[in-house]
A and B are shown apart, each in its own frame.
Chain A
Amino acid sequence: MTKQTHALWVFIEQRSGLIQPVGKELLSEARRLADTADRPVNVVAVLLGHEMHEAAQSLEAYGPDEILYVDDPRLEHYDVFPYADALTRLIKQYSPTIFLLGGSVIGRDLAPRLSMRLDTGLTADATHLALQEDADTLLLEATRPAFGGNLYATILCPNTLPQMATIRPGVFTEVHTPHTKAQMHVIQFEALEAPKVVFLERKVKQRSAQDIAKANVIFSIGRGAKASLNTAKQVADALGATVASSRALVDEGVMVKDQQVGQTGKTIRPNIYVALGISGAVQHTAGMDKAELIIGVNTDPNAPIFGVSNISIVADAHAVLEAMASQLNAIE
């Protein structure tokens, strides 16, 4: 790898030796971006782990030009010190232009720390990426919904490298690139920084509800339907559907964060998404506009949710949920 070529790096997150989907999603998007550029842009998958050579090789399927795999016992499980250290050394050595990381709990622990260590800019939770090519610069345009309402902001990091951004899991889709060959570099470092936090215990979270990211049918409740949350849960149960919500209900404490749809919640692609009493702020639609069929129910005919709805119904969500409950009762 020469320093002159622009390199677009993707952090490949692994947990217990398993590559997480978000890394493959970002790698697929990085491939797509690189292919839009006029100049050569090298897509590089960066994996930190221990005894993961095969998994590293399997990343080839998502189209990187190169794979950097750092093997070290200290990298087996994520800890911010050895991880930030290994990445800093790699970045100093190879000078990538752009570095994308998943916006998972791990990515959001690591990326800010790294950006500070490297004194460079980091954009959080981008939902759209593009490249801007100038004479000798290659800039990442990271777009995210900004602050309330219907506003988007495109953010650049023009003067420092690498230009960093995090992207939430589920925003991009995995794309297999058949028959690609990637150049593999296995790297070892001397004495990586030691973890400072001590691990004591691990518990699998009790599922408070079904995983909204895996559900086929979602009934999603917003502030306008809050009082009918229980009816919605009954209706969803009867139909084998899953209840999710806007951030408004999470902020009010009636739903848990795991069930929040949107830019800072989960990005989901169910077959059917029924939005009840949800206004449709861009932060919300960023997480659901790729659903196959969207049904919006809102009392306001001008609600932005109708901008993404395949079926747009002006009605009182409470009454609609009641009517669904009684129609379902009548069937039984």
Chain B
Amino acid sequence: MNILVLVKQVPNTTEMMIDKENGTLIRAGVESIANPDDLTGVELALELKEKTNGHVRVITMGPTQAEDMLRGLYGMGVDDAVLLTDKRFAGSDTWATSNILSAAIKRYPYDLIIAGRQAIDGDTAQVGPQVAEALGLPQVTYVHDVTHYETSSLTVIKSLEEEKLTLRLPLPGLITVLSEAREPRYLNVKDVMTAHQKPLETLTFDDLDLSLDAVGLKASPTRVKRTYTKEIVQKSPVQTLSPEDAATLILKHVVGHH
């Protein structure tokens, strides 16, 4: 089975800070990580590879720093890594990103594409289904488990708000996975040793069958009109209390209220 995994490099959002003066993000010094849902996608792909004697290729679009992340994924055991990087890609919204990713995907053989459910920096959860649409593939989003595979289909469990559905996805197809599905494996020593020698395939706009009005900030249909911060005005006087007094105050309101 040929499996492609879409992995996004994201800033560790729990550490994001805002510049109070101008309301912009302070990016300097913020650690970059592979998006958590995507690592689960890599894990699922590696499991399927082991079972089917398959091949796993990861694809990422981003700045050249994403190389380090890709080397880390080699350390987990992926076979090939592709970096899509070009100034002309900068500022792409999810529509443009999906155009770029799907143009790249078309260059490789695949039975299954795995994306994360959502990237923690934007939480849009749009790129998976958009790539599926661009490639005309069937999709199952919010995959909680993969239970069975055959050459022509994959059986998965999809998690909805109040129910779980068992579904059979015909291949080729695309799934988006939840990080609850699997704990990603640790790097293994042997793969880490060879990770830095492995070739990284780097592709730019010119390598892809794409037109300029499908990529980048200008082509993106969505525009940020403005960003702003809301001044925090304390809504009630702040009282410093002993734990006992605080507990009594809270219980006074809560007791008998259900």
Which of B125, B164, B221 is A108 in contact with, Cβ under 8 Å? B125
Docked CA distance A248–B14 (Å): 8
Q: Would A319 and B221 count as touching, CB distance under 8 A?
A: no
In the complex, whether B86 has a CB less than 8 A from a CB of chain A is no
Q: Would B222 and A125 count as touching, CB distance under 8 A?
A: no
Within 8 A of B (CB), among A165-213: 196-205
In the complex, whether B138 has a CB less than 8 A from a CB of chain A is yes
In the complex, whether B16 has a CB less than 8 A from a CB of chain A is yes
Q: Which residues of A contact B206 (CB under 8 A)?
A: none
**Most chain B CB neighbours (cut-off 10 Å) among A112, A147, A295, A316:** A112
In the complex, whether B95 has a CB less than 8 A from a CB of chain A is yes
Q: Would B221 and A151 count as touching, CB distance under 8 A?
A: no
Give per-residue flags for B1-40: 1 if the beta carbon is below 8 A from chain A beta carbons, else 0. 0000000000001101110000101000000000010000
Q: Would A151 and B250 count as touching, CB distance under 8 A?
A: no
Q: Which residues of A contact B251 (CB under 8 A)?
A: 239, 324, 327-328
Count residues of chain B with CB under 8 A from any CB of chain A: 83
In the complex, whether A150 has a CB less than 8 A from a CB of chain B is yes
Q: Would A121 and B222 count as touching, CB distance under 8 A?
A: yes
Q: Would B138 and A197 count as touching, CB distance under 8 A?
A: yes
Stretch at the interface among A1-9, A57-65, A66-74, A305-313: A305-313
Within 8 A of A (CB), among B210-246: 220-230, 232-244, 246
Docked CA distance A110–B132 (Å): 11
In the complex, whether A254 has a CB less than 8 A from a CB of chain B is no
Select from chain A the residue with minimum beta-carbon distance to B230: A150
Docked CA distance A320–B255 (Å): 16
Q: Would B18 and A150 count as touching, CB distance under 8 A?
A: yes
Within 8 A of B (CB), among A236-267: 239-241, 248, 251, 256-257, 263-264
In the complex, whether A149 has a CB less than 8 A from a CB of chain B is yes
Which of A148, A311, A320, A324 is B18 in contact with, Cβ under 8 Å? A148
Q: Which residues of B contact A137 (CB under 8 A)?
A: none
Known: A109-B139, A116-B129, A272-B253. A306 touches B236 (CB 8 A): yes
Select from chain B the residue with minimum beta-carbon distance to A295: B250
In the complex, whether A156 has a CB less than 8 A from a CB of chain B is yes
Which of A120, A151, A202, A311 is B249 in contact with, Cβ under 8 Å? A311
In the complex, whether A216 has a CB less than 8 A from a CB of chain B is yes
In the complex, whether A301 has a CB less than 8 A from a CB of chain B is yes
Known: A152-B230, A295-B250. A323 touches B244 (CB 8 A): yes
Known: A119-B95, A205-B163. A309 touches B236 (CB 8 A): yes
In the complex, whether A105 has a CB less than 8 A from a CB of chain B is yes
For the complex formed, measure the closest distance between the CB of A171 and the CB atoms of chain B, giving whole angstroms: 15
In the complex, whether A19 has a CB less than 8 A from a CB of chain B is no
Docked CA distance A297–B226 (Å): 33
Q: Would B123 and A315 count as touching, CB distance under 8 A?
A: no
Q: Would A149 and B166 count as touching, CB distance under 8 A?
A: no
Q: Would A122 and B163 count as touching, CB distance under 8 A?
A: no
Docked CA distance A247–B151 (Å): 38
Q: Would A121 and B93 count as touching, CB distance under 8 A?
A: yes
For the complex formed, measure the closest distance between the CB of A194 and the CB atoms of chain B, giving whole angstroms: 11
In the complex, whether A153 has a CB less than 8 A from a CB of chain B is yes
Q: Would A203 and B249 count as touching, CB distance under 8 A?
A: no
Q: Which residues of B contact A256 (CB under 8 A)?
A: 180
Q: Would A141 and B225 count as touching, CB distance under 8 A?
A: yes
In the complex, whether B98 has a CB less than 8 A from a CB of chain A is yes
**Most chain A CB neighbours (cut-off 10 Å) among B141, B162, B232:** B232
In the complex, whether A314 has a CB less than 8 A from a CB of chain B is yes
Q: Would A112 and B239 count as touching, CB distance under 8 A?
A: no
Q: Would A314 and B238 count as touching, CB distance under 8 A?
A: yes
Q: Would A199 and B254 count as touching, CB distance under 8 A?
A: no
Docked CA distance A110–B139 (Å): 10
Q: Which residues of B contact A308 (CB under 8 A)?
A: 235
In the complex, whether A322 has a CB less than 8 A from a CB of chain B is yes
Known: A200-B166, A205-B162, A310-B235. A155 touches B224 (CB 8 A): yes
Query: Other than the known A306-B232, A315-B241, what 13 A-B pairs have Cβ atoms closer than 8 Å?
Result: A84-B133, A113-B132, A123-B222, A147-B25, A147-B122, A196-B170, A199-B165, A200-B165, A272-B254, A274-B250, A314-B238, A320-B246, A328-B251
A residues whose Cβ falls under 8 Å from a Cβ of B: 80-81, 84, 104-106, 108-113, 115-117, 119-125, 141, 146-160, 196-205, 216-217, 239-241, 248, 251, 256-257, 263-264, 271-272, 274, 282, 293, 295, 297, 301, 304, 306-316, 319-324, 327-328
A-B contact pairs, 10 of them (CB 8 A): A80-B139, A113-B129, A113-B130, A115-B126, A116-B98, A116-B133, A149-B229, A307-B233, A311-B249, A313-B250
